[in-house]
Amino acid sequence: MNKKTARIRRALMIWSLLLAITLVWPLAWLGYQRTAERARLETQIEAELMLTDALLFAVSDDFDPPNNVWRVNVVDGWFDPIGDAWLDPPIMSLAQGVLEGEEVVRFSFDGEWLAAGQWVGGNDVLLSVIERDSEVSSLRRAKFVWSLVALLLPLGAAVLAWRGLAKLSGPEQAAHAVNREFIADAAHELRTPLSIIQASAGHALARDRDPVEYRE
């Protein structure tokens, strides 16, 4: 491979890599955002279903009370669990956020949690709290997968471009090889007659001769 061909091949590979990065990275970012949004939405729906179960339990004994759901009165400063409660989140501040319009709050409190709230009249708020372990795991997995996509696809495109250019330059390399082989064969075949001519000329010039002898 000559230097010019090598430079062109490297330049095209670099441009292929940059083009792939330009196309793949935004798509990978969008893919991660969609995956993350779906994981967050699943956690939020689970917390909101717990609120629905609490409302159904309030009107009918046919439904089981949900766990880790509280009825909270921020003004009077009291809260009662609807079912069993083994968590100890900052209930009053979360309920105050619900009254101020924050229906879903993600917070850290000896772990990762999500609180969903619903106003039920007066100063009363229903508040449910669930762990976000599944959501956090999904977010980490999505970040890892889409990072691999953003890394491997451009590299794969660069490798394919390099190999494709190698195949395209194959005929040129073959022609250069044939040319070098022909020159080598020609040089080998011409070596003997040229040696004879050189020896004859050296012999002719070994001593002084008159013009007639030089012509002969």
pLDDT at 203: 67
Statement: residue 49 has pLDDT above 90: yes
Statement: residue 154 has pLDDT above 60: yes
Q: Tell me: the pLDDT tens digits for 63-103? A: 889 999 999 998 899 999 999 999 889 999 999 988 888 88
Nearest to 43 by CA among 97, 98, 152, 116: 116
Q: How confident is the model at residue 12 (pLDDT cuts 50, 70, 90)?
A: confident
pLDDT at 135: 93
Q: How confident is the model at residue 179 (pLDDT cuts 50, 70, 90)?
A: low
Statement: residue 165 has pLDDT above 70: no
pLDDT at 78: 94
Q: At a CB cut-off of 8 Å and minimum separation 6, what does 158 contact?
A: 13, 14, 16, 17, 20
Nearest to 148 by CA among 38, 39, 28, 33: 28
pTM metric for this prediction: 0.66
How far apart (Å, rounded) are the C-alpha atoms in residues 63 and 59? 9
pLDDT at 176: 57
Statement: residue 182 has pLDDT above 70: no
How far apart (Å, rounded) are the C-alpha atoms in residues 24 and 74? 49
Please state at what angle helix 3-59 crosses helix 133-168, rounded to 10 degrees: 160
Q: How confident is the model at residue 184 (pLDDT cuts 50, 70, 90)?
A: low
Statement: residue 1 has pLDDT above 60: no
Domain boundaries along the sequence of the chain? 3-150, 169-203
